[in-house]
Amino acid sequence: MTSPYQSLQHTEAVARFELLSVDEYDVALDLASDETTFRSVTTVRFESRGGPTFADLKPLRVNEIRLNGRRIDPDLLERGRLPLETEAGANELVVDAVMPFRNDGEGLHRSTDPADGKQYVYGMNFMDAAPTVYACFDQPDLKAPYTFHVTAPADWTVVGNAPATNPEPGRWELETTQPLSTYFVTLVAGPYHVIRDEHDGIPLGLSARASIASALDADADELFTITRQCFDEFHRLFGIRYPFGAYHQAFVPEFNAGAMENPGCVTFRDPLVFTSRVTRGMRIQRASTVAHEMAHQWFGNIVTPKWWDDLWLNESFAEYMGNRVTADVTEYDDMWVENAYARRQWGLYADQRPTTHPVAGNGAVDASAALQDFDGISYAKGSSVLKQLNAALGDDVFFAGAIDHFTRHRFGNASMHDLFDSWERAGAGDLSDFTTNWLRTAGPDTIELDREAGLIRRTPPAEHPADRKHTFRVALASDGKWRTEPVTITGAETPFDAASDAVVLDPYEDSWAVVLPDARTLAELKTLLPAVEDDGVRAGIWNGVRSGFHNAAVSPADVVDLVVASPPVESTEDTKRRLGSWLLSDVLPLAPAGSLERVHAAALDKVGSLPAGSEHQLSGLRMAISTATSSEVLRGWLDATPEGIELDLDLRWRILVRLAALGATDRAELDAALAVEPTAVSRVEHMRAIVSLPTPEAKAHAWDVFTGRLDVPNYELEAAGLGMWRGGQEELTAPYVDRYFEELPATVQVRSGWVLADATDFFFPSTSISESTLERARALAADPVLDLSVRRRLADCADDLARLLAVRAAYPTS
């Protein structure tokens, strides 16, 4: 089945840009009259050369459409496109329509906080969601100023891209913005708790739901401090002041991404307001996200890519600059170590898949295809490549080129060629080799030590040959003592005498490559790893082990041995990008019998050996909970946690979810837990727990979420998918393997955009590690009729499964 809407083709965007220039948008929204819909009246004033084109519009119904005063038949609207016959010169389009409030994190998202019943709205117009909020020419290079007029319930506050006034209860008038792309436009409206401050003449704001006001108050000083530090550093580096007036950071419910860089009003997922205790890793992640979105105010907002194939000009730069500035000027000077754990493998996995693409010029034929390229390549690899370029050019040339780029294209659009022209004008010299090998050619080189031959070998991917130079540090251990040496790799083989040392290649992420540990090093690490004091070396060791496992060069048993020797309590956050979740989802299902119990025992020992109240102690307890097989042990923690750890909401639900997966609780107990503390976090974790139960009813409930028979917000959709497929429950889930492939194509009728692709991933039958499942996945992913974003995500899931099967074949456990 195909989507009910057409995705904008690049060729169409080029033609429309050549025909039109947009002067201004004036948008009036009534958010007060209904809880499921809102009225949107858009006036677009634009210049045209004259002739046919179309506007983008995705309403529930149309009240009236007028072009230059003449009425247009609403029935002409088809698959989100409104055909227009423009006049040469000035034109005015007025669209009066009724739009849907959405619950999938796109368009104008409206949610009800289960803690107090209050309702909140925010706009996320990224990629192709803007036409569900207002009529527009939805492409990044048709920028224009916006003026918004908003009617809202009297107790709501409205924040947008420009400062707002509230002349009377329920009425908000926003100032006219600087020229913006359609996808930057946002509104954040509701009974939000708002905190205001000021720095260097810039009004600052924070907001979050009323039910988490105390948590925002507790975090406000840290958030404002990071914001001030980052503004000062960006102003120092770029010499160009932030130009969008106020800077508001809104933490909003059920947000799909980590954050969105809307000028004047950045939106963040509100779990980044910490209502339970978190590790340092999460605080670093939040700080770098704040810095990342601030970097976008220059890279993306002052100058915006002309088309989505240059999206890396947004994300790679914001990733690099956000990491760098966080490390340089905030309290989180260990940012690069955290980045190694959180982002490195995300990018390397993506770059090794059949769906890999170049960092730049990724061939985005339409907006839907481009959305799938917002991945680890555009973020992690692009950041790494820019880090290398900065090291080669030096700060003076690197930032002189950036400043020239911002100045020449201020409030406009530009391409990669424009940026590289700016760097060459700044003195970078000819960058064509760098562009060809690092930005235009997909895939990573593989670098490994051949100890017997006394060589380091570099192997480019066969499908994407390139001649890349790598300069990085190598960590070597002799008699338990570590040292580093610089190495430059310029060809297929580079002499390197490792003697008898343990060797870790590129532990500090100086280059971008798949680095694999040699067998001798791997064996020695089981003794050496517990004593490694350099956090960068430790991160490099784990990334090498992960790359080795991903390429069937390291066995599950070896991974378990390393975990038991030194549990990775520094990286236990709940995402497959991190060590803890990777261990549970990929390694342990293929490991020898008894491995789960060994890891659990090691985690318990770690908890007992760490200082009470330390963050690593908390991480160790999380690992112990996720690997527990005894309901008595888990219930013991519900009664009394180890000294230094409080049983907060997060830990309570972790224990309940694990009890559910073990079949050691029931729906009644889980419902009661939700009733005691009915927060947004509880609602999501309650969904995760009830679908984790080993019962037919639990799996049927999850499936109703997948098919759309049960409509839930996006966070609950994710929880339902990830909770459904539990190891040890294969007999219960077996019927759903075939149903997944049979029913996946129809999901395009119940969801779209970001969530459509995500649900493909969330509900993939991850516990069915079999050749037949792989064959089904590859066959469906090759179906040209299937929605493109679904095909892409399904192909990635198939590649992950193929790699697990390769590990099983290389290291059978029986």
Q: From CA 794, how far away is CA 758, in angstroms rounded?
A: 10
Structure tokens, 436? 């060809």
CA dihedral 671, 674, 680, 685 (to 10 degrees): -60
- How far is Cα of residue 390 from the mean position of the Cα atoms in its chain? 24
Q: Which residues, at least 6 apart from 748, have a Cβ–Cβ distance to it below 8 Å? A: 1, 2, 3, 756, 787, 790
Q: Residue 693 and residue 660: Cα distance in Å, rounded?
A: 5
Q: How far apart are CA 335 and CA 284, in angstroms?
A: 6
- In 3D space, the residue among 775, 778, 785 whose CA is nearest the CA of residue 745 turns out to be 785
Whole-Å CA distances, 58 to 39, 61, 788, 809: 13, 9, 20, 49
Joined together, the tokens standing for residue 512 give 């971008």
Q: Which helix (H) or strand (E) holds 789?
A: helix 788-810
Instruction: For residues 725 and 718, give the distance between their C-alpha atoms in angstroms, rounded to a whole number.
Output: 12
What is the DSSP pairing of strand 187-190 with strand 445-450? unpaired
State the helix-helix crossing angle for 771-781 and 788-810, rounded to 10 degrees: 150
- Give CA–CA dist 273/531, Å, rounded: 35
CB 777 within 8 A of CB 800: no
Which tokens sit at 106?
A: 């796109």
* DSSP character at residue 248: E
CA-wise closest residue to 754 among 781, 798, 714:
714
């192909």: which residue's tokens?
795
In degrees, to the nearest 5, what angle opens at C-alpha 90 toward C-alphas 85 and 93?
A: 55
Q: How far apart are CA 417 and CA 673, in angstroms?
A: 56
- Structure tokens, 813: 């456990």
The answer to whether 463 is a known catalytic residue is no
- Give phi and psi for 181, each to the nearest 5: -75, 155
| Sequence-separated (6 or more) residues with CB below 8 Å from residue 753 | 104, 106, 127, 128, 129, 371, 789
What's the order of all strands across the beta sheet hosting 259-260? Answer: 193-199, 202-208, 247-252, 265-269, 259-260
| Lookup: tokens for 431 | 């960058």
**Which residue of the set 293, 338, 573, 685 is catalytic?**
293
3-state secondary structure of 259: strand
Q: Which two tokens stand for residue 161?
A: 């891209």
Are 37 and 100 spatial neighbours (Cβ–Cβ below 8 Å)? yes
Compute how many other C-beta atoms are within 10 angstroms of the C-beta atom of residue 683: 18
Q: Please tell me whether residue 46 adopts helix, strand or coil conformation.
A: strand
* Whole-angstrom distance, CA of residue 467 vs CA of residue 478: 33
Question: The tokens of 795 are what?
Answer: 């192909």
Q: What are the φ/ψ torsions at residue 539 (nearest 5 degrees)?
A: -60, -40
Partners of 187 in beta bridges: 160
- Tell me which residues are annotated as active site: 293
